[in-house]
Each structure stands twice: as C-alpha cells, then as structure tokens.
Amino acid sequence: MLMMKSVQTAAPGTIKVAKIQRPAPGPRDLLVRVRACGICGTDAAFVQMGGMPLGPDGQTASIPLGHEPAGEIIEIGAEVTGLKTGDRVVVNPQAAPSGIIGCGGTLGGMSEYLLIENARAGTSLAARTDSPGQLTIGAASGLAVVSGANPAPGSKDHRRDQCRSGSAADVAGPVLHRSALRFAGCLMARGAASNRARAG
C-alpha cells in the first residue's frame, strides 16, 4: 500500500502532517502530484477552530486542508479524455463528488497527491499543456506554497529554504501553522509579493 503526507487540522490552533493511503484513480479519475497549494483565510479559520463543524450538533471534525491546489497529472484513468499524463493543472475544488476539496470533503490539496474524481477538463480542473513555466494560482491570500521553488539568495526564511527539497505537505505545515497564529501579520505580508507559483 502506497502512503503519502497530508496536512490536516488537529486541536484548535494546531495542525498535523498525517501519513495516509495514497489514492488510486479509477477509470474516470486521475491522480495529481501536488506542486503548489494556496493558503486561504478559510484554511487559517479551520486551523483556529481545530477543523470544521460537521457534526449534527456542530461538533468540530478534523479535515484535510487546502482547496487551491495545482500540480501535474501522474496517473490517468482509461475513460478520461482531453487530458494526459504530464499536463500541468489547476484544480476546481468544488467539482469533487466526495465533497469540496479542503473544505469538509475527504480530500485536501495540501497533500502530496490528490485524486480528481470524474475528471473533466474545464470542469474539475484546467490544464496548461503548451509549455513549461508557471501556473497562476488563484490564491485569495496571494501566498502559494511551492515545492521546488528557489528562495532568494541569502534568504533566512527557513520555510522558503525547505521548498528546495520538501514536498508541498512538508512546506505547508509550518507555514499554515504560523499563519493561524499571526494571520494578518504573516500570511498577508508574505503573500503580497506574488500570486504565481513555478510548476516545475
């Protein structure tokens, strides 16, 4: 059984990087290797609450985080058309049949891999197939967590340094945790510089 890391809410004000089973795509699904995931104010709110109120009496349940993911298709079901392995994609979190990705559904974009159920170009995701380069991430906060980024020379920001070799889940954990504690002072200030994330 293949495993992967996924950032999830824990107790109020905390998160955890959990090891969970890596999903396998069915004939109408595909699997994305997450290269970036925006951090939204909603993510910070879920962290502060310790999850999402999902119980019948408003009990908070732990959820996987991240609803602004982008990455690369690495596996594709036989019935999926208009997309191929290697396509760089931005995911529509609201199109997931199992619930909104990163907002109460069973899947979260701050994971190493993301299953896209009933994958359809233009509906469940948008692909950029023309040339290598950059994907534009629609992060409401303007901050994108990027795997494989090159920090500025002389940068003392350890989160950026972790981007060199860490997965998106490794990098998202400390950044999201810090953003929940100092959202206005950290997340917005650091995210204001750019809303573009290098995809490869």
pLDDT in tens, 87-129: 999 999 999 988 899 998 899 999 999 999 999 998 999 987 5
- Tell me, what's the pLDDT at 130? 58
| Domain limits for position 120 | 3-190
Residue type, 104: G
As given in the structure block, the two tokens for residue 114 are: 């993301």
* Residue at 199 is within a domain: no
Residue 96 lies in a domain: yes
Exposed/middle/buried for residue 3 (C-beta within 10 Å: 0-12, 13-18, 19+): exposed
C-alpha span between 52 and 60 (Å, rounded):
5
Q: How high does pLDDT run on average in the chain? A: 73
Q: For residue 198, tell me if it sits in a domain.
A: no
Assign residue 37 the CATH number of its domain: 3.90.180.10
Q: Does 171 map to a domain?
A: yes
Number of domains in the chain: 1
Packing angle of the helix pair 41-49, 168-181 (nearest 10 deg) = 70
Residue 118 lies in a domain: yes
